[in-house]
Amino acid sequence: MLGLIATGFLASAIAPVLYKRYRENFGWIAVLFPLYMFFGFLSRYPEIAAGNSVRESLPWVPSLGINFSFLLDGLSLTFALIISLVGAAVFLFAGAYMKGYRDAGRFYLYIGVFMTSMLGLVLADNMLLLFVFWELTSFSSYLLIGFNHHKESSRKSALQALLVTGGGGLALLAGILLLGSVTGTYEISSFYDMNRIITSSALYPAIVVLLLLGAFTKSAQFPFHFWLPNAMEAPTPVSAYLHSATMVKAGIYLIARLNHEIGGTPLWQDTVLITGAVTMLFTATLAFRQTDLKKLLAYSTLSVLGTLVMLLGIGSELAIKAFFIYLIAHSLYKGTLFLVAGTIDHETGTRDVGKLAGLRKAMPVTAAAAALASFSMMGVIPLIGFIGKETVYKAILELDRWGLPLIGAAVLANACVVMVTLLVGFRPFLGKAKETPRQAHEAPLKMLLGPSLLAVLGLLIGLFPDFFISAMLEQSARNILSEELSLKIVLWHGFNLVLILSFVTLLLGGLFYALRPVVLRYSFFSSLPALFKPSSWYESALKGMLSFAKLQTLILQNGYLRNYTIVIVLAALIPASFALYRAAEEVSIIPDYSITFYEAALGLIIIISTGLLITSTSRLKSIVSLGVMGFSIGIIFVIYGAPDVALTTFAIETLNVILFVLVLQKLPKFLKLSRSSNRIRDAVIASGIGVFMTLVVLFATSFNISTELKEYFAAASLPEGKGLNVVNVILVDFRALDTLGEITVLTIAAIGVLAMLKTATGRKAQP
């Protein structure tokens, strides 16, 4: 499977080159890649259905527990099949749809990277590897939403999606690391039996919150749902693929994958259940005021995502069954409808439902595919959507707690979805044809094949559910609940409460559709107060962050050199003194007060010269003090057996004094610039540093140090360096490269000095 992923990235990389060559026909070539993946996964189907799973692992960073490990089991196979099948439809569709775009080659690169990462995500058996693919999908989603990068709204939506899902990704990473610290491994298959260990850990609540934050942002759950409708700025194939069929299901995949390992507690189940239910109902009602085909579909997608999350929260056998059927059904019909919306947009030039009608004559095949998918979306027998909705209702009715309010919410939400379907799937095709910006005609074969195929598949699975998906569902359910389930799926359950609810849903949906113009006239739905709109929370958070950054810059980056110095000095001094204080407890410093006359005199000279340097108002006096100080330090080197250092110091101090005098002689006296309060503050900080450094030196000299190097150099100097002066031998032989670097630095400094002294002063400052 690693080979598959690597091939995927490689193929994406060469896609732009191939596109340049084949242009018009590239869609037919591109589709081979997802198709190959699809049939590859399909060939594993019998093996997985028999209850086996395939695991591959290759060490990547073994010391950190990061491996290229992949696992193909029922759950990952289900997702992989959806990803590659919808991928095939989308790639082919894009071949015709993207024709007018300038950078279509780049589009294939992005979407190829996305598909590969998405497959990697669902196949990964290592949490950290999963995280890498998770971020790659966010990243490719960013590039794809912002594909029309010349439009400001595209860029803004892309950034919004990236910030929301990326922020969630960070939470996910933190959650993964905590999980790893509890279990001691990052391999998902090793967690399998650790439910008790994980749920009893003190870190468990933090793990749950962080992981769910990641999952909810990715799958656009309330209150993070706002990025998804905005992501409709992307070209339609992207919306169909990433923002309805695959990427937004990554969070759901994560919840499903980890349900057995860290679920089963009230915290996990209730959080997931409530978030899902709120999302399902809330986002469905938001669909009322939409007129754009894609936005309508986006809000219904949100509602379905909420339903899926809710089902995982319920967590019963029936709920998991419903989850799978609904998942597959949604991918098939929503993929179709998005592509149909793209076709309509492409052929007529508008996506406004108010301006579209009577397209069935001009576009009969599209209309048929749309109708088929719409029936599935509404839950009409005999399509897979019908089975999905029936099972969802059954799973909810089974609940003791929450049962009644939840079924009400589900029926309402589904009625809104029915309304969306009527608006998107039927209204553009029925009635009398209207004038559209472009003369409508049937789309090319490339744009028809994908949606039709997905729609027909929805019908086939609805008719023969047992044949198509039963075996896969059994295995998938085993990954989520760890129980062997016998999931008999049948189309017809007989006349019962659930069927009645289905009818009620359809009727309500029809009613909503009829009432929609009336409701819209009253501005109740047209604008929510900002306080209740999570998107405005996002806006103000973004604004707050920017103004905070500005404030921070004003405080820290204010142009006063001494403020920078103070910040740096204090940031080093405070923690370092703390560390010194802690370490000094173990040492007793025995000071050696013995002192000779000339040492005392030398010390006194240095002290006087520093005093003069600080207080003097004459430049020349300061320079002389500096010179005296340098020479005194040179004498200290002489006393302690460092004649070479002393010689260098004398030479350089002499040069320094000459240079200073030459440059500074013509300048006026010092100005007294600082206020005295500043002087006192600076004196306090400086004394702090002084005391600290004194203590550090005393502390450092109270230990015995290793003399190994000293002895080595003393012994090796003559035989290996052929020199008697060990210091010189070190400089020109043992550490000759250092000296070479030093010479280079000096040369560069000399060039700099020359350049500054020789060139004329540049432009005069503006008056």
Q: Is 705 in the site for other proteins (CB under 8 A)?
A: yes
Segment near other proteins (CB under 8 A); pick from 44-52, 364-372, 534-542, 728-736:
728-736
Token code pair at residue 76:
């990952």
- Please identify which residue in 700, 737, 766, 767 interacts with other proteins, judged by CB under 8 A: 700
Q: Which residues contact 138 (CB under 8 A, 6 or more apart)?
A: 161, 162, 165, 166, 169, 218
179 vs 730, which CB is nearer to other proteins?
730
Segment near other proteins (CB under 8 A); pick from 451-459, 483-491, 517-525, 588-596:
588-596
Distance CA 535, CA 541 (A): 10
269 vs 577, which CB is nearer to other proteins?
577
Q: Is 24 in the site for other proteins (CB under 8 A)?
A: no
Q: How far is the CB of 568 from other proteins (least distance, A)?
A: 10
Q: Residue 105: how many CB atoms within 10 A of its CB?
A: 18
Distance CA 333, CA 425 (A): 11
Segment near other proteins (CB under 8 A); pick from 97-105, 164-172, 384-392, 687-695:
687-695
39 vs 670, which CB is nearer to other proteins?
670
Element (H, E) at 68: strand 66-72
Token code pair at residue 369:
């595919």
Find the binding residues for other proteins in span 383-422 (CB under 8 A): none
39 vs 598, which CB is nearer to other proteins?
598
In degrees and rounded to multiples of 5, residue 58 shows phi and psi of -135, 125
437 vs 591, which CB is nearer to other proteins?
591
Find the binding residues for other proteins in span 626-685 (CB under 8 A): 626, 629-630, 633, 636-637, 639-645, 648-649, 652, 655-656, 659-660, 663-664, 667, 670-671, 673-674, 682-683, 685
Q: Is 686 in the site for other proteins (CB under 8 A)?
A: yes
Q: How far is the CB of 565 from other proteins (least distance, A)?
A: 6
- Please identify which residue in 62, 266, 719, 767 interacts with other proteins, judged by CB under 8 A: 719
Q: Is 738 in the site for other proteins (CB under 8 A)?
A: yes
Q: Is 470 left (phi over 0), alpha (psi -120 to 50) or beta?
A: alpha
Beta bridge partners of 55: 71
Q: How far is the CB of 583 from other proteins (least distance, A)?
A: 15
59 vs 643, which CB is nearer to other proteins?
643
Q: Is 698 in the site for other proteins (CB under 8 A)?
A: yes
Q: Is 619 in the site for other proteins (CB under 8 A)?
A: yes
- Please identify which residue in 64, 200, 735, 736 interacts with other proteins, judged by CB under 8 A: 735
Position 65, amino acid? G
Distance CA 605, CA 596 (A): 14
Position 352, amino acid? D
Find the binding residues for other proteins in span 230-289 (CB under 8 A): none
Element (H, E) at 71: strand 66-72
**Cα–chain center distance at 677:** 48
Q: Is 608 in the site for other proteins (CB under 8 A)?
A: no
Distance CA 199, CA 193 (A): 12
- Please identify which residue in 181, 439, 496, 739 interacts with other proteins, judged by CB under 8 A: 739
Q: Measured over all CA atoms, what is the biggest interatomic distance in the chain, rounded to whole angstroms?
A: 113
Distance CA 68, CA 541 (A): 37
Q: How far is the CB of 577 from other proteins (least distance, A)?
A: 13
- How far separated are the first and last CA of the chain, in Å rounded? 70
Q: How far is the CB of 711 from other proteins (least distance, A)?
A: 8
Q: Which residues contact 237 (CB under 8 A, 6 or more apart)?
A: 90, 91, 93, 94, 97, 98, 111, 339, 342
Q: Is 45 in the site for other proteins (CB under 8 A)?
A: no
- Please identify which residue in 6, 530, 541, 714 interacts with other proteins, judged by CB under 8 A: 714
Per-residue x/- track, 436-455, other proteins (CB under 8 A): --------------------
Q: Is 730 in the site for other proteins (CB under 8 A)?
A: yes
- Please identify which residue in 404, 601, 718, 736 interacts with other proteins, judged by CB under 8 A: 718
Length of the chain: 767
- Please identify which residue in 614, 615, 620, 621 interacts with other proteins, judged by CB under 8 A: 614
Q: How far is the CB of 705 from other proteins (least distance, A)?
A: 7
Q: How far is the CB of 547 from other proteins (least distance, A)?
A: 12
Segment near other proteins (CB under 8 A); pick from 336-344, 349-357, 482-490, 689-697:
689-697
Element (H, E) at 58: strand 54-61
Buried b / exposed e across 673-694, counting CB within 10 Å, b at 16+? eeeeeeeeeeeebeeeeeebee
Segment near other proteins (CB under 8 A); pick from 90-98, 118-126, 497-505, 732-740:
732-740
- Please identify which residue in 607, 615, 621, 665 interacts with other proteins, judged by CB under 8 A: 607
Q: Which residues contact 169 (CB under 8 A, 6 or more apart)?
A: 131, 134, 135, 138, 214, 217, 218
Distance CA 726, CA 720 (A): 11
Q: How far is the CB of 538 from other proteins (least distance, A)?
A: 24
What torsion do the CA atoms of 209, 214, 217, 218 make, to the nearest 10 degrees? -150
Distance CA 134, CA 616 (A): 65
467 vs 712, which CB is nearer to other proteins?
712
Segment near other proteins (CB under 8 A); pick from 107-115, 224-232, 351-359, 590-598:
590-598
**Full 3-state SS string of 520-557:** HHCCCCCCCCHHHCHHHHHHHHHHHHHHHHHHHHHHHC
Per-residue x/- track, 568-587, other proteins (CB under 8 A): -x------------------
Q: Is 740 in the site for other proteins (CB under 8 A)?
A: no
Distance CA 268, CA 313 (A): 8
Beta bridge partners of 61: 66
Distance CA 300, CA 509 (A): 13
Q: Is 725 in the site for other proteins (CB under 8 A)?
A: yes
Q: Is 757 in the site for other proteins (CB under 8 A)?
A: yes
Count of residues binding other proteins (CB under 8 A)?
106
Distance CA 96, CA 116 (A): 22
- Please identify which residue in 63, 588, 596, 677 interacts with other proteins, judged by CB under 8 A: 596
Find the binding residues for other proteins in span 552-571 (CB under 8 A): 553-554, 557-562, 565-566, 569
Distance CA 737, CA 32 (A): 58
Q: Is 259 left (phi over 0), alpha (psi -120 to 50) or beta?
A: alpha
Q: How far is the CB of 674 from other proteins (least distance, A)?
A: 6
Q: Are 360 and 430 in contact (CB under 8 A)?
A: yes
Element (H, E) at 18: helix 2-22
Token code pair at residue 347:
């052929």
Find the binding residues for other proteins in span 492-551 (CB under 8 A): 550
Element (H, E) at 740: helix 736-758
463 vs 651, which CB is nearer to other proteins?
651
